[in-house]
Structure 1
Amino acid sequence: MIMLDTALEGKEAVFGRFSMDVHKHGLSLGGNWEYDFGSFDQIIWQEQGESIYLRLPFATIRGKLDHDETVIQFKTPYLIKHVLNIGLDYDSNSLLSAVGLNQFQAPLDTDGHIPHRDRWKQVGEHLIEQLTPYVY
């Protein structure tokens, strides 16, 4: 994981508007959200089952995430690398995987080593700079 030092931390946004505005930059609401916190994610590199994500975690400060008017406040953004398990899954659910009923496998590594850290840090910080018009 690479923590990013940006001006985004502590900034606020209206959830529905921010979601629509940043979608064109490739960001979307991460799947692990709850009503009072979540993250916006973007894949910034992907190759052979390995992905580097830009993650913008946030907490709700007014409202819940099932309303567009909810106000969110950003926490420290970071980069994370996932290494997917692209082979066969040899556990008790293998039959389900083989017939296509169990499409999700746990990643081999949810926080893999990111080579060339300075380069990726610059990429992440540059992408976040593009989002400053959408926060206050």
Structure 2
Amino acid sequence: MDNGRRRIMIAIQSSLDGQRRTFKELFEFFNRHDFSVGGNWDIDGGFFDLKMGADEVEGKYYFLRIPGIPEQGNFGENDAIIRLGTPFLLVHHYQDNQDDTARYRTYTAVMDQFASPVEKDAPASDEWVRRTEEWLRKIEAKFPFH
């Protein structure tokens, strides 16, 4: 433990790192487990994001983010071969003066693209690092492609 010091974007070792599957297989697996494809992907790569929670007081959203790097084809194409990268905890800190309905939608795990982050890569507490590791271990245990 580091006595509550705050961190920025924490990489987490995982058995998913380096796994290779088609985009379709990965998309279907992650979609079944409440992940979405992050809004900033392009043909060269993207992220599978799981919104784990929010701190409404501080205006922070916590994501488990798993990078996907195409080795054959383009990210988003069903038959593209995608290699998973090192998962990490990502924290977005959004402006406090935004209307809650405009910046947070309960029907999707995707952050509202119209709310500008105050800090794109906000610090994370030890508690959120621990929670992220727990979520990741659950996903690893369910991953059918080892």
Q: TM-score, normalised by structure 1?
A: 0.79
Structure 1 residue 79 displacement after superposition: 0.4
Which of residues 54, 62, 74 in structure 2 aligns to 1:52?
A: 62
The runs of 5 or more residues in structure 1 that have no matched partner are 89-96, 98-102
Please identify, of 13-22 and 54-63, the stretch whose mean Cα deviation from structure 2 is larger. Answer: 13-22
The runs of 5 or more residues in structure 2 that have no matched partner are 1-8, 103-112
Q: Deviations over 1:18-39 (max 9, x none)?
A: 2122212111111111112111
Q: TM-score, normalised by structure 2?
A: 0.74
Larger radius of gyration: 1
Q: Is the 8 A contact 2:69 2:75 kept in 1?
A: no
3-state SS of paired residue (1:20): helix
Q: Is the 8 A contact 1:84 1:107 kept in 2?
A: yes
Amino acid in structure 1 at the alignment position of 2:89: L
Supply the RMSD in Å over aligned alpha carbons: 2.3
- Structure 2 partner of 1:120: 131
Structure 1 residue 65 displacement after superposition: 2.5
Structure 1 residue 77 and structure 2 residue 87: aligned?
Answer: yes
- Structure 1 partner of 2:77: 67
Number of corresponding residues: 123
